[in-house]
Structure 1
Amino acid sequence: MIEFEYWQLLCFPLFFGFGWAAARIDIRHLVKESRTLPRSYFQGLNFLLNEQPDRAIEAFVEAVKIDPQTIELHFALGSLFRRRGETERAIRMHQNLIEREDLKQDLKLQALAELGQDYLKAGLLDRAEQIFDKLRDSSLAEEAKRNLLEIYQLEKDWGKAITIASELPDYASHKEIAEYHCELAAAELIRSRRDLAVSHLQTALERNRKCVRASLLQGDILLQQDQPLAAIESWQRIEQQDPTYLALVAQRLLDAFRKLDRRERGLQLLRGYLEHYPSLDLLDVVFQLVLESDGPDAAYKLVRDELKRNPTLLGFDKLLEARLLIAPPESRPDLDLAKGIVQGYTRRLARYRCDNCGFKARQFYWRCPACGGWETYSPKRTEEFDLTP
């Protein structure tokens, strides 16, 4: 049991007295600081709270004129200019801060970083790159490297992007670096330098063993080299990487099996894919194969059964196409009319959508043209997600 001395009670009023005095000092300090700030500063804050950015900027500009020593206000004002697209004003604001001799080194670095952001926003990539390159050895190194990475991606300088991404802790074996190697491989293929392309694709798979794009491009190269069996093996690897992407290689697989004169084996494989990983693109290819090998009645039955399993408007459009092949002549005008109406809707629905920002496009992208995200597009069209129960 802890012993209690009565004299300790005298300490409590003393502690309360110290707390009251400290609070009074803090309050006086705050009041003194608030009196030194220009009135326009508080007006600007009020305008910001009321979502009136135009009037807030006017008030802050006036506050800066009255008291040029308000450094944080300079930063806030420059950021507001940049967000509003007034990059020239933002650039001047941050340049003035950098040129001040009385500014501390850490604040100068912050102003330099803000100036780099201004140049980046204005599309002056070479100037932004110079600034962020200077900051690579500063306390703002990680932020500078991330901005450099964005610049190199915009410039499609994938070699530099790989170098800078490798210096970032969360990019050590990231899928983005694998995609950069795939971009380099695609560029080498355009120049007919297959050996270099193969090397980049191998590195991409080392970085990210689930890189579907690398397997797809490897298969393309093997088929060009008249190795259809090896190409098929490369494309089949996608089933273990991400089976939803099999739709992208369905037509390639069909072409390779035809080259090997193994159409039945190809049909068997693609039918299995369609059963386990339903996709409209897979259905198109299997429909084409069944039509060639078994005739229009079998092709119609295939589409009808698939539509029952996965009802979509795009699938219904394919059903009408199959029905037209076996319909009597007197029924075809009505079917043509129905198909035309359905196609009018499916043209709007047949879009690929970015999972990151929601941007929709008619074609599939490995990198979203809106937000810049890698592998954010599903190989399935939006209608497959919106209408499938």
Structure 2
Amino acid sequence: MDFDLSWLLLGLPLAFILGWLASRFDLRQLRLENRQAPKAYFRGLNFLLNEQQDQAIDAFIEAVQNDPDTQELHFALGNLFRRRGEYQRAVRVHEHLLSRADLSRADRNRAQHALAQDFLRAGLLDRAEAALQKLEGTIYENDARMALLGIYERSREWTQAEAVARKLDESEQASYGTRRGHYLCEQASELAARGDADGAIALLQQAAQVAPAAPRPAIDLAALQLQQGAPAQAFATLKALAETAPLALPLYATLMQQAAAASQHSGEALALLQRRYAAAPSIDVLDAIVALGGSTSLEEIDDAGSSDTVTVANPRDSYVAHLQHHPSLVAASRWLAGERFEREALHPPVQRALDQAVRPLMRYRCAACGFEAHQYFWHCPGCQAWDSYPPRRVEEL
């Protein structure tokens, strides 16, 4: 059977035409998809700028479907889900990114950081902790350590918090010595509650070395020494603290008075308190002075208008001396509480009313968030800030 060359001549042009048509179709489809993907992306960006997050999410989902290999779209979509509070969807997006084998190391670390943020915002602290620990040695290392500090503080895992704070301290980007001192004091408090006084004292001494300018280690140490029956040591600890942290004296004036009275150092303590009170008057320091039987100076004015400073005989009259220069409802209430009046039967209800009015003035107020409490906090329960409470009552601010 002879081969007919006419079929070959007809087939070659036909194959060429079909191939050309197929290539044109592929190019047209490719152009269409490329036009759709940027169009969806810019539409989503426009929605995002107009704060229309629902429409932006729909547009980005469309863009991701048209171009599933684009990492930036995945990151944008995941961040949008997180901002919307749709944490499960954000987690799925970032876990999908991490499952891709073609992801660069930089994008993988970025996805890991985003995943940790998803878990943090969702309140899944254990999963957030595991995700943050994987960022060690990356550019997100310090951010991850700060987030871990927050987790450990919320869960009161002070040993882990101190270890992380030590790493941050060693990075030399900021000083975390004071924060480490607080963590050691918290550990010491837990040991003391379990009856391990020796271990608590060792931790407090370590805290004093880590944070030499912080008053808390010495105050906690003196309180523990007094509790353990060593008032002389407690007084020595607070006496040294008065030289390094005089502004914090209102926080430990009562403790110093108790330690001095129990160790026969009342005279020395009284002289120190009177000297500090003269430099910086405070109702707490004045209370300690009165409790030790001491007094302050009272300014007397005669009929001619001249004044003379005398030392009051009754220690309680020191509150009146305080009132001359520092109007204080607290000091007035303290003085009235021990006075005897002609109509004594009316004194108790009046005193109760005064005490009730004084209670808000005796609170401490956080300088960061304004949270008020009758107890002094080193760690604010409201905003979680450290050392945000001034050592003075609300009335004295």
Q: What range is the shorter-chain TM-score in?
A: 0.7 to 0.9
Where does residue 204 of structure 2 map in the other structure?
201
Go from structure 1 to structure 2 and tell me whether the alpha carbon gap of 1:47 and 1:381 turns closer, same or farther (over 3 Å shift). Answer: farther
CA shift, 1:209, in A, is: 1.0
Q: Tell me the distance in 2 between the aligned counterparts of 1:38 and 1:304.
A: 79
Deviations, residues 323-374 of structure 1 (Å, cap 9, x unaligned): 353352337738954862x555543444322233433333211112233322
Where does residue 191 of structure 1 map in the other structure?
194
Contact 1:355-1:376 within 8 A present in 2 as well: yes
Does 2:322 align with 1:302? no
Go from structure 1 to structure 2 and tell me whether the alpha carbon gap of 1:218 and 1:324 turns closer, same or farther (over 3 Å shift). Answer: closer
Where does residue 341 of structure 2 map in the other structure?
328
Letter in 2 for 1:234: T
**1:1-389 counterparts in 2 under 5 A?**
38-39=38-39, 41-51=41-51, 53=53, 56-57=56-57, 60-61=60-61, 63-65=63-65, 67-168=67-168, 169-170=171-172, 174-290=177-293, 298-311=314-327, 315-330=328-343, 333=346, 336-337=349-350, 340=353, 343-385=355-397
Contact 2:333-2:355 within 8 A present in 1 as well: no
Deviations, residues 251-308 of structure 1 (Å, cap 9, x unaligned): 212212221345444433323332223223223333444499xxx9834531122123
Letter in 2 for 1:110: R
Contact 1:300-1:319 within 8 A present in 2 as well: no
Contact 2:188-2:200 within 8 A present in 1 as well: yes
Question: Which runs of 5 or more residues in structure 1 are unaligned?
Answer: 1-33
Report the secondary structure of 1:375's partner residue. coil
Where does residue 12 of structure 1 map in the other structure?
none
Go from structure 1 to structure 2 and tell me whether the alpha carbon gap of 1:333 and 1:249 turns closer, same or farther (over 3 Å shift). Answer: same
Q: Tell me the distance in 2 between the aligned counterparts of 1:111 and 1:211.
A: 39
Letter in 2 for 1:167: K
Go from structure 1 to structure 2 and tell me whether the alpha carbon gap of 1:142 and 1:173 turns closer, same or farther (over 3 Å shift). Answer: closer
Go from structure 1 to structure 2 and tell me whether the alpha carbon gap of 1:39 and 1:234 turns closer, same or farther (over 3 Å shift). Answer: same
Report the secondary structure of 1:110's partner residue. helix
Deviations, residues 129-184 of structure 1 (Å, cap 9, x unaligned): 22222221334333333333332333322222222222221366621112211112
Contact 1:166-1:172 within 8 A present in 2 as well: no
Go from structure 1 to structure 2 and tell me whether the alpha carbon gap of 1:299 and 1:41 turns closer, same or farther (over 3 Å shift). Answer: farther
Contact 2:47-2:55 within 8 A present in 1 as well: yes
Letter in 2 for 1:272: R
Query: What TM-score does the superposition give when structure 2 sets the normalisation length?
Result: 0.75
Letter in 1 for 2:74: H
Query: What TM-score does the superposition give when structure 1 sets the normalisation length?
Result: 0.76
Q: Tell me the distance in 2 between the aligned counterparts of 1:117 and 1:242.
A: 39
CA shift, 1:317, in A, is: 3.4
Report the secondary structure of 1:135's partner residue. coil
Q: Tell me the distance in 2 between the aligned counterparts of 1:111 and 1:159.
A: 29
Contact 2:78-2:89 within 8 A present in 1 as well: yes
Go from structure 1 to structure 2 and tell me whether the alpha carbon gap of 1:276 and 1:339 turns closer, same or farther (over 3 Å shift). Answer: farther
Contact 1:320-1:339 within 8 A present in 2 as well: no
Letter in 2 for 1:193: D
Q: Which has the bigger relative contact order, CA under 8 A and spacing at least 6?
A: 1
Count of matched residue pairs? 346
Q: Tell me the distance in 1 between the aligned counterparts of 2:148 and 2:181.
A: 18
Q: Which runs of 4+ in 1 moved over 6 A?
A: none
Go from structure 1 to structure 2 and tell me whether the alpha carbon gap of 1:348 and 1:328 turns closer, same or farther (over 3 Å shift). Answer: closer
Q: Tell me the distance in 2 between the aligned counterparts of 1:74 and 1:372.
A: 34
Contact 1:243-1:277 within 8 A present in 2 as well: no
Go from structure 1 to structure 2 and tell me whether the alpha carbon gap of 1:331 and 1:226 turns closer, same or farther (over 3 Å shift). Answer: closer
Go from structure 1 to structure 2 and tell me whether the alpha carbon gap of 1:345 and 1:82 turns closer, same or farther (over 3 Å shift). Answer: farther
Go from structure 1 to structure 2 and tell me whether the alpha carbon gap of 1:260 and 1:338 turns closer, same or farther (over 3 Å shift). Answer: closer
Residue identity (%)? 36
Q: Tell me the distance in 2 between the aligned counterparts of 1:47 and 1:304.
A: 68
Contact 1:368-1:374 within 8 A present in 2 as well: yes
Q: Tell me the distance in 2 between the aligned counterparts of 1:383 and 1:43.
A: 57
Q: Tell me the distance in 2 between the aligned counterparts of 1:230 and 1:110.
A: 53
Contact 2:319-2:334 within 8 A present in 1 as well: no
Q: Tell me the distance in 2 between the aligned counterparts of 1:47 and 1:241.
A: 58
Q: Tell me the distance in 1 between the aligned counterparts of 2:241 and 2:262.
A: 21
CA shift, 1:204, in A, is: 1.2
Letter in 2 for 1:374: W
Contact 1:47-1:53 within 8 A present in 2 as well: yes
Q: Tell me the distance in 2 between the aligned counterparts of 1:371 and 1:320.
A: 32
CA shift, 1:35, in A, is: 6.2
Go from structure 1 to structure 2 and tell me whether the alpha carbon gap of 1:258 and 1:308 turns closer, same or farther (over 3 Å shift). Answer: same
- Please identify, of 37-46 and 358-367, the stretch whose mean Cα deviation from structure 2 is larger: 37-46
Go from structure 1 to structure 2 and tell me whether the alpha carbon gap of 1:337 and 1:326 turns closer, same or farther (over 3 Å shift). Answer: closer
Deviations, residues 33-60 of structure 1 (Å, cap 9, x unaligned): x966555544554454455555555554
Contact 2:37-2:66 within 8 A present in 1 as well: no
